[in-house]
Chains A and B, each alone.
Chain A
């Protein structure tokens, strides 16, 4: 890693710690809850940024992948398998013997036997990868409008499924999702006492994900992706398997969305159909566009800022309208993203002339 990247990551870490210390000193640590949720959303957004900005493919269905992750994990960790075990289901028995199930008591004092969160998490990711491949192989052959509509259609199908399937809680979604103990002592859940730990867990995961993507775009693969985005036929002639690169990028970004879904669901203790809605997908696209499409830093900063403000209820009942308006304004006046508006541009342009 070059020096510039290390310094900027160090600054990012300082910012994360600084915010936590500030909230502690000012007694406003309730902000940490929204910050934690914001950071999980950012995980999805930087993944989407990879697809949109670097591979040049629009996805209007990323909330679908978020939902696949969140719902799978939630359903597996809340479905009581005790009955199945007593009935003598071999599969459940085997899982139980392998220690992949956990016993607990529900809110009403009933004994519960559920899938271990780690197993649920891995299954959720596996399912996401499977779906991403199944959708990505045909969809990524499409371009422009067709791609946008196809991914939008995928998002709506997922939304309809979670809304209609009784096992997934229909309109109510799934609640009472237990915490997810990543390592002994590190549990993702919504306990007030666990707030600071959770804040740091989210920050750590987000920064790891961010560094992975930064590394990726600086690598041979990132170069190939930029080449595909810029001139696909020329990239093809350089021996780059463009279809495969686009597909893998799509799958990676789907996994980022699913991980965000899994962790956020365990953190807030539930997930509802609204999380799978089209408006969510559009909002993620909006944030990536505002951040400047091909800018992971832009996506991260705008994702952080706008998600946090939105969660704080800053936009009131104009929340969706705000994202719609800002989406149009950015696309009309600053299609390169807000960070590259005139002033910034002049600064950068000036530097180039010196060379």
Chain B
């Protein structure tokens, strides 16, 4: 394999990988504050992308993206308030089914609003054919956009959780909900915030990746499965590990195409990894078994 081809695959891998990581972080934020796996996480990505595409007809691109992210964020909060907030001690099975229902409804709503056509945002800079030469590989400038924005997002998120009062309150809720409540933190609001936050970052991912992969009403399920694979691979709840795991999965997928693995089975790779990880190391590659045991399933 030539160096050019090699770096081409690496770039393809990290582009998809970082998107998976963002979806996984979305899973983790909600999981940490609530113990719920939100099966509708992929729909946030779809919603962000599709809304931005529609808004871009009237608004300049940056404004369209910001409005789409805010809109998705609002939807995330609304979903939590309407469907989850008022439930008293719901069982895991019940929550799984509710979020599955939400995912179906969002998808169907999107189908009725936007139809089943494939759409895409325009390239942030340049167009489909423009490219940058890096290590002998020609990379679309959009790839650089994706990488830059996503890495910034990851850094901002970790700073947010470490240094802002709100971020710390959310962390406290994640660590011990009861204790956080006793310290005067409104745990219910934190859950709503976590839904909004994870909807927002999902929407960002949906926007930046749209020029490359296009957006369609049913793109969510596939992304959700891969995001979940990455979240589990890194250890559920551990966002930094999710980034590493995301890049790993992205690169594996890219090279599987490179060695001639049939494209149709590309999804099967992620799912097989998911199944294998679940069977042999359910606490993740980087996770700690005893810490995983503390969370109830």
A and B touch in the complex (CB under 8 A): yes
Q: Which residues of A line the B interface, CB within 8 A?
A: 56, 58, 60, 138-139, 141-146, 148-150, 152-154, 156-157, 160-161, 163-164, 278-279, 282, 285-286, 289, 317-318, 320-321, 323-325, 327-328, 331-332, 335
A-contact 0/1 string along B68-94, CB 8 Å cutoff: 000000000000000100010011111
Q: How many A-B residue pairs have CB under 8 A?
A: 115
Is B297 in contact with A144, judged by CB distance below 8 angstroms?
Answer: yes
Is A328 in contact with B101, judged by CB distance below 8 angstroms?
Answer: yes
Is A289 in contact with B97, judged by CB distance below 8 angstroms?
Answer: yes
B264 at the interface (CB under 8 A from A): yes
Is B104 in contact with A321, judged by CB distance below 8 angstroms?
Answer: yes
CB distance from B188 to the nearest CB of A (A): 17
Q: Which residues of B line the A interface, CB within 8 A?
A: 37, 39, 83, 87, 90-94, 96-98, 100-105, 107-109, 112, 221, 225, 228, 232, 262, 264-265, 267-268, 271-272, 274-275, 278-279, 282, 297
Is A321 in contact with B275, judged by CB distance below 8 angstroms?
Answer: no
Q: Which residues of A contact B275 (CB under 8 A)?
A: 138-139, 150, 153-154
Is A138 in contact with B105, judged by CB distance below 8 angstroms?
Answer: no
CB distance from B292 to the nearest CB of A (A): 11
Q: Which residues of B contact A146 (CB under 8 A)?
A: 232, 278, 282, 297
CB distance from A8 to the nearest CB of B (A): 28
Is A324 in contact with B92, judged by CB distance below 8 angstroms?
Answer: no
Contact of A321 among B92, B98, B105, B232 (CB under 8 A): B105
CB distance from B143 to the nearest CB of A (A): 26
Q: Which residues of A contact B39 (CB under 8 A)?
A: 148
Q: Which residues of B contact A161 (CB under 8 A)?
A: 265, 268
Which of B94, B103, B104, B274 has the most A CB atoms < 10 Å from its CB? B104
Contact A164:B262 (CB < 8 A) given known A146-B278, A148-B96, A278-B221: yes
CB distance from A351 to the nearest CB of B (A): 26
4 smallest beta-carbon distances between A and B, as pairs: A324-B104, A164-B264, A321-B108, A328-B101
A138-B275, A157-B267, A335-B91 given; 7 more Cβ-contact pairs under 8 Å:
A145-B96, A164-B262, A278-B221, A317-B112, A320-B108, A321-B105, A335-B94
CB distance from B293 to the nearest CB of A (A): 12
Is B100 in contact with A282, judged by CB distance below 8 angstroms?
Answer: yes
Q: Which residues of A contact B96 (CB under 8 A)?
A: 58, 144-145, 148
Is A142 in contact with B282, judged by CB distance below 8 angstroms?
Answer: yes
Is A153 in contact with B225, judged by CB distance below 8 angstroms?
Answer: yes
Contact A138:B279 (CB < 8 A) given known A278-B221, A327-B97, A328-B105: yes
Is B92 in contact with A156, judged by CB distance below 8 angstroms?
Answer: no
Is B225 in contact with A156, judged by CB distance below 8 angstroms?
Answer: yes
| A328 to B108 alpha-carbon distance, docked (Å) | 14
The chain A residue sitting closest to B97, CB to CB, is A331
The chain A residue sitting closest to B93, CB to CB, is A58
Q: Which residues of B contact A145 (CB under 8 A)?
A: 37, 92, 96, 297
Is A150 in contact with B83, judged by CB distance below 8 angstroms?
Answer: no
Contact of A164 among B108, B265, B297 (CB under 8 A): B265
Is A327 in contact with B101, judged by CB distance below 8 angstroms?
Answer: yes
Q: Which residues of A contact B97 (CB under 8 A)?
A: 58, 285-286, 289, 327, 331
CB distance from B148 to the nearest CB of A (A): 31
| A146 to B92 alpha-carbon distance, docked (Å) | 11
CB distance from A328 to the nearest CB of B (A): 4
The chain B residue sitting closest to A320, CB to CB, is B108
Is A160 in contact with B265, judged by CB distance below 8 angstroms?
Answer: yes
8 A/B residue pairs, CB under 8 Å, sorted by A? A142-B278, A143-B92, A143-B297, A145-B37, A148-B96, A153-B271, A156-B267, A286-B97
Which of B92, B97, B265 has the most A CB atoms < 10 Å from its CB? B97
| A331 to B272 alpha-carbon distance, docked (Å) | 30
| A32 to B96 alpha-carbon distance, docked (Å) | 36
Is B98 in contact with A160, judged by CB distance below 8 angstroms?
Answer: no
CB distance from B61 to the nearest CB of A (A): 31
The chain B residue sitting closest to A143, CB to CB, is B297
The chain A residue sitting closest to B31, CB to CB, is A145
